[in-house]
Amino acid sequence: MERKFPRKIKRVVIKVGSSLLATHMMKPHERSLKSLVAQICDLQDRGFEVVFVSSGAIALGLGEMGERVRPSDTPSLQAAAAVGQALLMRLYGDLFKKRGRVCAQILLTWDDFDSKLRHSNACNTLQKLLTRGVVPIINENDSISTEEIKFGDNDKLSAMVAAMVHADLLIMLSDVDGLYKKEGGKLTEKFSEVREITDEIRSVAGGARDHNFSKGGMVTKVNAVEIASRAAVPCIIANGQTMDVIRRIVVDKESLGTYFFEKEERLIAHKHWICFFAKPKGFVTVDDGAAKAILKGDASLLLPGIVAWGGKFTPGDAVVVQDQAGVELARGIADYAKEHLDEVSDRKAKKPFIHIDNLVVTA
């Protein structure tokens, strides 16, 4: 049966996992790379715009340096990424060139999304590349990323990119066919489509996989879907080893993989940025009255509702709002610095600490 998308697809983000790009010996998977490039060029020929999010730097870097096992320390992984990213781009550059195309490399960290200026610079660059018919190839800037500025996995990165470029579809390709139901610990039937990420979906997604090649697994994919779908980007998780998978999904609209609907009630861009892109610099704990008002979604958070706080924030920084049990209720942009809250007299003033326009309920 033909799959129905919510709107005509023009701009597609395609994310490919390391398991498709590197062999077990951590050498380039040439057939797979060739096929991906051919499929991307085919989409371009048909008038689609493609943003490509490619993993594989660490795996290929390790292979290039003659390693067999993924090390656990960060500097070794970062060194491998530096080697592998260059190799990866050389391979893509040659393959695209053979087809008369040009590709470009963009390496991002979470900081680039946290800063509105860098976010908009990245956005402008991507836009320009797409209008010039160049294929942007994006990866995390692993060689300089530390825990604080890391996405952690390219699934999340691809969702943030899809939201940033207002993609019409995000396709995450790996070596699994999609999301499967689990019965008695066994994978049974594949979900052809998922309308909403419920607790059941989260539980079948299971724990993260962290193998020789990459981080991630189903759980990081489902988290990524959540980010993309709140930005009105529908997602498909499919097997990249399936013949002509990209064309069959995008052009023939075949029901391959698992299709995740976009959220009907999408967050406007500014609130999406607060919720998913801005890194919280601290937290405030609120009393029960304020918690109720926030969850109702129609009130600002006023200073007197705050009972505790932590972290280091200044006006304009994102903060997490939590209840007295420490459960996250919302995220928002602080109007006052942490030091202001330390002054009791200031805290009693009935002024908004987070204005309703800058407050997003996440509970």
Q: Which residue ranges make up the site for ligand GLU (CB under 6 A)? A: 18, 55-59, 81, 139-140, 142, 153-154, 214-216
The least distance separating ligand GLU from the CB of residue 192, rounded to whole angstroms, comes to 25
The least distance separating ligand GLU from the CB of residue 214, rounded to whole angstroms, comes to 3
Nearer to ligand GLU among residue 140 and residue 323 (C-beta): 140
CA distance 88 to 81: 10
Nearer to ligand GLU among residue 18 and residue 358 (C-beta): 18
The least distance separating ligand GLU from the CB of residue 95, rounded to whole angstroms, comes to 17
Nearer to ligand GLU among residue 89 and residue 318 (C-beta): 89
The least distance separating ligand GLU from the CB of residue 211, rounded to whole angstroms, comes to 10
CA distance 232 to 357: 20
Nearest to 244 by CA among 46, 25, 7: 46
Is residue 50 within 8 A of residue 40, CB to CB? The reply is yes
Nearer to ligand GLU among residue 144 and residue 356 (C-beta): 144
The token duo for 363 is: 């509970």
> What is the identity of the amino acid at 161?
V
Nearer to ligand GLU among residue 56 and residue 234 (C-beta): 56
The least distance separating ligand GLU from the CB of residue 220, rounded to whole angstroms, comes to 7
The token duo for 133 is: 């018919």
Nearer to ligand GLU among residue 218 and residue 290 (C-beta): 218
The least distance separating ligand GLU from the CB of residue 72, rounded to whole angstroms, comes to 15
Nearer to ligand GLU among residue 152 and residue 311 (C-beta): 152
Is residue 322 within 8 A of residue 363, CB to CB? The reply is no
The least distance separating ligand GLU from the CB of residue 148, rounded to whole angstroms, comes to 16
The token duo for 78 is: 């970062």
Nearest to 354 by CA among 265, 293, 311, 269: 293
Cβ atoms within 10 Å of 347's Cβ, excluding its own: 19
CA distances, 311 to each of 283, 290, 357 (Å): 6, 20, 23
Report which residue's Cβ sits closest to ligand GLU: 214
Nearer to ligand GLU among residue 139 and residue 322 (C-beta): 139
The token duo for 164 is: 């940033």
Stated length of the chain: 363
Tell me the angle at which helices 116-131 and 154-164 cross, rounded to the nearest 10 degrees: 80
Which residues, in sequence order, are CB contacts of 72 under 8 Å at separation 6+?
none
The least distance separating ligand GLU from the CB of residue 248, rounded to whole angstroms, comes to 24
DSSP, residue by residue, 33-87: HHHHHHHHHHHHHTT-EEEEEE--HHHHHHHHTT--S--SSHHHHHHHHHHHHHH
